[in-house]
A and B are shown apart, each in its own frame.
Chain A
Amino acid sequence: MTPELAGVLQLLALVGALALVHRPAGTYMARVYSSTKHLRVERWIHRGIGADPDSGQTWSAYLRGVLAFSAVGVLLLYLLQRLQGVLPGSYGFGPVGPAQAFNTAVSFVTNTNWQSYYGEQTMGHVVQTAGLAVQNFVSAAVGMAVAVALVRGFARSRTGELGNFWCDLVRGTVRILLPAATVAALVLVARGVVQNFSGIHEVGQFTGGARQWTGGAVASQEAIKELGTNGGGYFNANSAHPYENPTPFTNLFEIFLILVIPFSLTRTFGLMVGSVRQGHAVLAAMFTIWLGFVSLMMWTEFAHHGPAPQAAGAALEGKEIRFGIAGSSLFAVSTTLTSTGAVDSAHSSLTGPGGGIAMLGMMLGEIAPGGVGSGLYGMLVMAVVAVFVAGLMVGRTPEYLGKKIGPREMKLAACHLLVTPALVLVLTALSLALPTPPDSTLNPGPHGFSEVLYAFTSAANNNGSAFAGLNADTDWYNTTTALAMLLGRFLPMVFVLALAGSLARRQSVPVTAGTLHTGKPLFSGLLVGAVLILTGLTYFPALALGPLAEGLA
């Protein structure tokens, strides 16, 4: 079997599994977020945090919940790291430095999982499991809650209420993420991922000498790392590490975990707005972009020529031989088109165009299919913009899912669109223009430029993957990437929830023959076009000076 054929078969298996699972998963999630009953354990939690899960919240109350919960999360995670020296099970690791601790706290709470540290050399058991792993669950649940609030904004009419944040947060964690992650972790353990609380081992190497390896609760963290599109590895090598991702099967399974919730949420959305077709249209747009990116990535990685690839038989620099080009390409695209950021290969070693594809995937706003929740709401905001232009072309005040898109909706959608380009471009320019930050880059020319651009693209879009080659553990990068992660996560949430509030207040317009039908392939195509053109136009000059200059040389 040629590597190309193996790649196609892996792709088919993945698509088949997703097609099979997304229906029941989407339906289940719709039921979770629409149900009026609480589980006993949920009632305990609500009583514990003093929340009334049955009271409806306006968009601003919902937002206050999101922000307060996240702020407390950052604080707790920061304190855990700073106090690591006195915590049990720390392998003797001392407290994490303030800048890095803040960066890491922000990183995990914003579902970014950008890591400027070496996991196995910095974090002990308690920080890993009680801190990082907990945020892996709840930061994903927050994303889903915000997406569900936006969906309710479309579905409801003449009300100010978007549901209850605490209720959505708890349900997302207890009923969706916990059970799914448990099953996934068991599968991973069965296929060889480690799960223990052992300390540091000395392992002899084939080449002689010995290395220290830490064990840990890896499989449980690996499962939620992918499932919640978090991406923060237990080890620095992330999913390239054999303890995290030992076989081609676990590799494919991890890619499946990354994609399953974001793709399934489109069905949840369709069911909740009362039209499965609408969900299909969004799903089709996401899937088209994802498949297009996967094909391009595989093509450019397989087709790469040059002295090194020729000697190795393929462009395998920075890739794990057990995953090969196909498995690495699939992983690279899936991790950058979602807000995951886990890596099973070094993105810095992708071919020029390949690095560009990974970067462009994040620049799209990670909406194909995107992070858990954030992918759906990002794509829906793009749909609002696409509907606005397309709706005009059919001669009506544009409307999406029966909701008219007026000045307020447009203003919020436009602000949402502006956040990440502003963060990425301004911070990249500052890092290059100021005297000290450039010292962090390893390479000159377009590749060095790509490293910086990639870092801020990854941070602002809450991806978390790194291009390597950039020393991000400096005060400048720890602070600016933390800023980018915070603003890149919560500003869009502010606009999304405000948009949801404003949509929920609007009266639904009935569908007629004069209505733009957003549940059809034509609209999916339009949405794909709008996403690609808007992002392409924003980042074309920057991409030209980085990956394009490198790739076309």
Chain B
Amino acid sequence: MTQRSQPKQPSAAGGSKSKQIKLVLLGESGVGKSSIALRYVRGEFNENGEATIGAAFLTKTVNVRGQSVKFDIWDTAGQERYHSLAPMYYRGAPAAIIVYDVTSKSSFTRAQAWIKELLQQANSQMVICLAGNKADMASEARTVSREEGKDHAEEHGLLFTETSAKTGLNVEDMFINLAAKIVATTMSPGNDIEENVRLEESGKKGGCC
């Protein structure tokens, strides 16, 4: 099976007037990747409920510093047997959230492996956030300290936060911070990804709309 090839042309997100950002959620199975996405997009937490349709791909538009940012959130398979397929999912993504469970040491180890892989394989401009989920259970069952997570994130220049998809703790902020960082990065000169052409009747060229 061949790997997916990247198009040569500049990637244009200009179908709409918002900046499209593909964001991948990575992490061990069961750490709460889908729950984080669901909490952020729909404000829901699905405990013992019906299976949710369409939770593996979600979108949400936010406004950051006057710039409309649309997240295309891709949940990824966390099971080890699917690990070889992960590059297909994170390829070309400008943002990733690596999730671990603060009550599971193994999930943190797995998250460290993901960080290593992304730093080696993925886009060097990728904005990565390390998220310790299930923070609501920290008082009873924490096995990964906040400092441990934070230190590891700082070591690799990543954003860090502890979240709870169940209570909604820090979930919104995490996405907003990610969006802000991406906007700050891409709005710097030479990073225009918009391909819109706006022409006024007079023939003068205007800016992107």
Interaction A to B: no
Query: Could you tell me which A residues sit within 8 Å of B by CB distance?
Result: none
Query: Could you tell me which B residues sit within 8 Å of A by CB distance?
Result: none
